[in-house]
Structure 1
Amino acid sequence: MSETTGTVPRQEAAITVLGGPTAVIDLGGLRIVSDPTFDEPGPQGYLTKTAGPALDEDALGPVDLVLVSHEAHPDNLDERGRAFAKAAPLVLTGPVAAGRLGPAAVGLPPWTGHSVPRADGGGELTVLAVPAVHGPEDGERDADGNVNCEVTGFVLTGQGLPTVYVSGDNASIRTVAEISRRVPDVDVAVLHAGAARVPAKFDGRPLSLDGRAAAAAAAVLGADTVIPAHYDGWAHFSEGLAEIELAFHEAGLSSLLCTAPHGTWVRLPS
C-alpha cells in the first residue's frame, strides 16, 4: 500500500527507490523520476503487481523531468505512472515511446544527449540515452533491432555532479561494456536487477539482470555505488534482494551495494 506523508523535501544529491523500477533522483537542483509506477497491487494484463510504491505521486511534489525506459510494459509504466509522466514538463524516452506519450516527450535514439538547465545554478544536466537489451542476446529482434521492445537506459552528467547510470530493463553485459567504454567514469549505477522472467518469452530466460549479472555490470562500470531496483513488487521477478546481496557478496563487491528501504534516500558521492 502506498502512503503519502506530505511533499518530500528535495535533496542535494540523492536517490530513493520507491518500489518496482521507480526511482526519484534529486540532482543538480532537479527532481527526476524514472519509470513511474503508482498503481495499487493487482493484475495488469499478463503481469501481476504485488505491492504499491513506498510513496505516491502526490508526495513527490512538482517534478522537473521523467525518464521512461519503455512504455510497452505496465511494470515500467502503469496507468497512474503514465498520467504522471504526461503531466510532467519534460519526458525523455526512446523514439517509439515518445510518439505515444504526448508533446512533453522527447525521443532520444541511443547515444543522443539532451541538456536540461539545472535549478542549482550549476549550468546544465545532460541526459545521454544509452542502449538496453530487454532479454537474451540471441533473442529474436524486431525491425528496429530491439529484443522484446524498445528500451532506453540513461546516463546523467553535469559539472560537479556524480555521473549516474540508470539501466532500464537490460539483461546484456555486452551492452554494459559498451556503455562503460563510451562513459568511463560512472559513479552511481541504478540497476534493474530482479531477473524478470515470463515463461512465454525466450524460453523463460531472464529479461533483466539477475544478481550475478548485476554484480558483473557493477564491476565493468567501475561504479562506486550500486542501487538495485525493479526486483520486487511484481510476481514475474525470479530474484529478490537476498539473491542480489548474495551475488555481490560472492563477487566481493558488497561494499558497493546500497540497499536502503524503499522511500529512504541514498546520499550520492560528491
Structure 2
Amino acid sequence: MVPNDGKELQSNANKLSVTWVGHATTLVQIDGVNVLTDPIWSERCSPLSFAGPKRYTPPGISIPNLPKIDVIILSHNHYDHTDLPSLKQLEEKFHPLVLTGLGNKKLLLGEGMQNVKEMDWWDETKFGSVQFTFAPTQHFSGRGLFDRDETLWGSFVITGKDETVYFAGDTGYYSHFKEIASRFPKIDVAILPIGATEPRWLMEPVHVDPKEAVRSFLDLKAKFLVPMHYMTFVLSDEPLDSPVPRTKEAMKESGISESALIPLKIGETRFF
C-alpha cells in the first residue's frame, strides 16, 4: 500500500490516470472527468455492519482526499460492488451521476442518490466529452435470497477524446470480450479482476482466474492491464497475494511483455 493524499489527483486537469483504492474500486481520470468504479470504503462487504467479509487492507485514499467525483459506475448490485454506506457519503459530498444496470435505480434512489441512470447492455451515456457504454459480462446479481438476477450486471467502456478505458466489474470468461473489442478496437487500459477465483468448480462461471484474465486482455486487444479484485476482502480460497504472480506467469506463457501489466499497489496512481 502507498499513501495517497489526493493532491496530485486534485490538480490533474486532463491526463489519463488510474488509482487503485482497493477491491474493484478505482478512480479513473479521463478528459478532466473523475470516475469512481464500484466504490466501497466500508469495513465489511455485507448487509450487516458487524458480520461478513472484513477488509484486509484499508482504502488507498480517503473520501475527503478525493478530487470532485463526477460519475460513479456500478457494475452490479453485490454488496462488495454496490456499497450503500459509501455511496451515501459520496452523494453528500459530490452529488455525482450514478450509472448502473437495469433494475437498480429504485434501490439507489431509496438510499438518497439524486442522479441515477439505468442502462441496458450497449446503452450509451455522455458526461462532457466522455462516453460511457454499458457492456455485457458473464455474472449474476442479487442482494438477498429472493432477488437473484432481477437486476442487470455488466461492465463499462469509458471513451474519451483520445483514450479508452475498460472496467470489467465481475465476470467469468466468455466471448463478450471479443465482442467488446470489435466495437471498441482501441482500448488503452483494461481494468480486469484477477482474484476471488478458488475453488474453480464454484468460481469459474462468474470470476476469471489470472490465466483467463490474460486471455480476456488478449481478446480486448488492450495496451495495458490494471488488475483489481484482490488483496482487499477474503472472499475465496486462494492466498490473497497470489493473483499477481499468477498473472505475470500467464502473461509470460502468452508471450506478452510484462510492461503491459500495471499491478498497482493500493493507493497508487499511474498516469498514462
* Corresponding residue to 1:255 among 231, 242, 259: 259
- How far apart are residue 245 of structure 1 and its match? 2.1
| Structure 2: distance between partners of 1:2 and 1:78 | 23
Name the counterpart of 1:78.
83
Residue 108 of structure 2 is aligned to residue 104 of structure 1: no
**Cα distance per residue 1:38-67 (max 9 Å; x no partner):** 013586555343222111211103211111
Given that 2:104 and 2:151 are in contact with CA atoms closer than 8 Å, whether structure 1 keeps it comes out as no
Name the counterpart of 2:143.
none
The one-letter code of the counterpart of 1:5 is D
- Provide the TM-score with structure 1 as the length reference: 0.82
- How far apart are residue 6 of structure 1 and its match? 5.7
**Cα distance per residue 1:151-190 (max 9 Å; x no partner):** 221001122x211110110112312122112222212101
Closer/same/farther in 2, CA of residues 184 and 3 from structure 1, 3 Å limit:
closer
Closer/same/farther in 2, CA of residues 183 and 55 from structure 1, 3 Å limit:
same
- How far apart are residue 78 of structure 1 and its match? 2.6
* Corresponding residue to 1:90 among 97, 102, 126: 97
Aligned to 1:81, the other structure's residue is in SS state: helix
* Corresponding residue to 1:37 among 37, 40, 50: 40
Q: Name the stretch that deviates more: 217-226 or 229-238.
A: 229-238
The one-letter code of the counterpart of 1:235 is V
- How far apart are residue 242 of structure 1 and its match? 2.1
Closer/same/farther in 2, CA of residues 6 and 24 from structure 1, 3 Å limit:
closer
Name the counterpart of 1:69.
75
**Percent of pairs identical after alignment?**
25
Closer/same/farther in 2, CA of residues 230 and 25 from structure 1, 3 Å limit:
same
| Structure 1: distance between partners of 2:250 and 2:6 | 37
| Structure 1: distance between partners of 2:208 and 2:222 | 16
- How far apart are residue 249 of structure 1 and its match? 2.2
| Structure 1: distance between partners of 2:151 and 2:102 | 12
| Structure-to-structure mapping, 1:127-142, within 5 angstroms | 127-134=132-139
- How far apart are residue 227 of structure 1 and its match? 0.5
Name the counterpart of 2:5.
5
| Structure 2: distance between partners of 1:109 and 1:242 | 36
Name the counterpart of 1:214.
213
Name the counterpart of 1:265.
269
Task: Name structure 1 gaps, 5 residues minimum.
Answer: 118-123, 136-143
Name the counterpart of 1:120.
none
Task: Name structure 2 gaps, 5 residues minimum.
Answer: 141-146
The one-letter code of the counterpart of 2:104 is A
Aligned to 2:103, the other structure's residue is in SS state: helix
Closer/same/farther in 2, CA of residues 42 and 176 from structure 1, 3 Å limit:
closer
Closer/same/farther in 2, CA of residues 96 and 67 from structure 1, 3 Å limit:
same
- Provide the TM-score with structure 2 as the length reference: 0.81
**Cα distance per residue 1:187-235 (max 9 Å; x no partner):** 21011221445x7xx9523332210011001111111111011122111
| Structure 1: distance between partners of 2:178 and 2:5 | 40
Given that 1:193 and 1:231 are in contact with CA atoms closer than 8 Å, whether structure 2 keeps it comes out as yes
- How far apart are residue 85 of structure 1 and its match? 4.8
Aligned to 2:139, the other structure's residue is in SS state: coil
